[in-house]
Amino acid sequence: MATLMEKLIAPVAEEEGKVPNHKITVEAIGQVSMACTISILGKSLTAEFALVDVLEDKLKGEMMDLQHKGLFLQTPKILADKDYSVTANSKIVVVSAGGERHLNLVQRNINVFKLITAQIVKYNPNCIIIAVSNPADILTFVTWKPSGLPNSCHRWILGEHGNSSMAVWSGVNVATVSLQEVNPEMGIDNDSENWKEVHKMVVESAYEVIKLKEYTNWATQLSVADLLESMLKNLSRNHPVSTMVKGMYGIENEVFLSLPCILNKLKDKEVDQLKNSIQKNLKEL
């Protein structure tokens, strides 16, 4: 016969085995890590949160302390374990081990970060990793390099929506680093890395979608929602939208083409390409 305590704590329904939405993990339980933990939980950013650290006793103590504050938190599931499997299915993992300030003392942290990154990627191959440590630049690189995770890459496609569109190669950047500074030949005919093929793939991708499903639609709807968010929230973000280009970059024709709504200066060669796109567009009118 079940005791009163067993009756009180018995689950009323089986827990569903769903993959959590927006699960967040904080690695390590030092002062910086726990400050991040309290800040994250205080903002109610996730329904599932995990802590991981090899220091079992301290980890257990932090977990109990957080559970005692559960009344004031809106994160229903908080996990903690020394095994990195507890991090599985995390959307974001915050790594805050180490913290040596002097360059000659960072080798230990580099080795630690390499081990941590391997475990994180093992259970979270598609997560976003945020490195919070000193020196920030070095340890961010050490986290990214062995992870195999991609960097964020941005590029503008301007002009006509179609074959005569132009790629703004001077604006291509990965994590704010200009790739044209690394490869000055990017996008030109004798580019050994053949970046022009990337632009060709962008142009032809729509035709491939149409071939497979007879029409394209999702990019348009998502773009509309993105535009509405910027306008309603006054975010002042750049958007490539079709706009009147007369008077810009010496263009005298009354024609609408895709340009960023907050313009950055184009290089002379890119201005020529934009004008060429306009002439081809006018011939279609």
Cα separation, 111 vs 72, in Å, equals 38
pLDDT digits (tens, 9 = 90+) for 252-272: 887 777 777 654 456 777 778
Cα separation, 28 vs 271, in Å, equals 51
- Checking DSSP bridges between strand 177-178 and strand 173-174, what pairing results, if any? antiparallel
The chain-wide mean pLDDT, for the chain, equals: 78
What pTM was estimated for this model as a whole?
0.55
Cα separation, 109 vs 159, in Å, equals 48
132 annotated ligand binder = yes
Cα separation, 23 vs 46, in Å, equals 6
pLDDT digits (tens, 9 = 90+) for 10-39: 665 565 556 666 899 999 888 888 888 888
Which one of 154, 161, 199, 239 is the catalytic residue?
161
Residue showing tokens 């997560």: 127
Cα separation, 45 vs 59, in Å, equals 22
Beta strands in the chain (DSSP E): 23-27, 48-52, 77-81, 90-95, 128-131, 153-154, 157-158, 166-167, 173-174, 177-178, 240-244, 256-260
Q: Residue 49 contacts by C-beta under 8 Å, 6 or more apart in sequence? A: 23, 24, 25, 26, 37, 40, 41, 75, 77, 78, 79
What is the three-class DSSP state of 185?
coil
81: β partners: 52
Contact 155, 143 (CB under 8 A): no
Q: Residue 197 contacts by C-beta under 8 Å, 6 or more apart in sequence? A: none
Cα separation, 90 vs 121, in Å, equals 10
Angle (CA) 267 271 275, round 5° = 170
Angle (CA) 168 258 277, round 5° = 70
Structural domains in the chain, CATH included, are: 20-147 (3.40.50.720), 153-283 (3.90.110.10)
147 annotated ligand binder = no
Q: What is the pLDDT along the chain (285 residues), one digit of tens a residue?
A: 667 766 666 665 565 556 666 899 999 888 888 888 888 888 888 889 999 999 999 999 998 888 777 777 888 889 999 999 999 999 999 998 765 555 555 677 788 888 999 999 999 999 989 888 766 667 777 788 888 887 766 677 777 666 778 888 887 877 667 778 888 888 888 888 888 888 888 778 777 877 887 776 666 556 667 777 776 676 767 777 777 788 887 888 877 777 776 544 567 777 787 778 777 766 655
Contact 89, 124 (CB under 8 A): yes
26: β partners: 51, 94
33 annotated ligand binder = no
Q: How many CB atoms lie within 10 A of CB 106?
A: 20
161 noted as active-site residue: yes
